[in-house]
Amino acid sequence: MPNPTAAMLTIGDEILSGRTLDTNTNHLARTLAAIGIDLREARAVPDVTEEIVAAVNALRSRYDHVFTSGGIGPTHDDITADAIAAAFGVGIGVRADARAILATNYADPERELNPARLRMARIPDGATLIENAVSKAPGFTIGNVHVMAGVPQVFVAMVGWLAPRLAAGAPVGSVSRIIRRPEGIIAGPLAELAAAHPAVAIGCYPFQDEQGFGASVVLRSADADALAAAKAGLAALVAGLGAPA
């Protein structure tokens, strides 16, 4: 049975303006690889309702899971929860359980849970909450869409809570090997290796350092036997090139 598939949607002007380097996609990618969910696509869109709605609907119809990052805070530009509700065509409002969680942040919730903060308790109808161990304000899952915060520490905490609760596939194993030959020399034999091992994804990432040209070859597969066979093939390839072992 093939692994479940997934897409990441990063929401926020700060990513597209270059103010913020997105590290959440990379964190999610590594987490999903470890539990056998294949991340197939990533997108970033601005804080614009129609853009969020269109991207969520395109991605949720195509992949088993969609993970979003950003736009669930208390400010005017935090429009993700409302956009998700619009994408699913459901209502949204302050929910008692989410409000109760937020209230634990404050000595005097009646006074301190102002309208801006209460925005963080707005949850689309039918969603379940995602725990936020860092700053309480929850994320949520609706259908196959998991809505999480953009602040990296909070995103990481939410993914950490969510990941063990997802149906896992076969973890993707990987083997990587540095070959100290120019990529243009490695490429021909590597294409033959790739053709001989169709169940293994083979990538080649060139670099140059003080020792000269080299490349990192990465083998990836959810099939452990296929990966082992390709690894043996790679060892033979390296020996054939006369490269240092």
- Positions touching its own copies (CB under 8 A) are 10, 12-23, 25-33, 39-47, 51, 73-77, 112, 114-117, 119, 151, 172, 174, 183-188, 190-191, 194-195, 201-207, 218, 220
Kindly state the smallest distance separating residue 78's Cβ from its own copies, in Å: 8
Of the pair 90, 194, the CB lying nearest its own copies is at 194
Of the pair 90, 175, the CB lying nearest its own copies is at 175
Kindly state the smallest distance separating residue 239's Cβ from its own copies, in Å: 19
Q: Are 188 and 157 in contact (CB under 8 A)?
A: no
Of the pair 127, 222, the CB lying nearest its own copies is at 222
Kindly state the smallest distance separating residue 183's Cβ from its own copies, in Å: 6
Kindly state the smallest distance separating residue 10's Cβ from its own copies, in Å: 8
Kindly state the smallest distance separating residue 34's Cβ from its own copies, in Å: 9
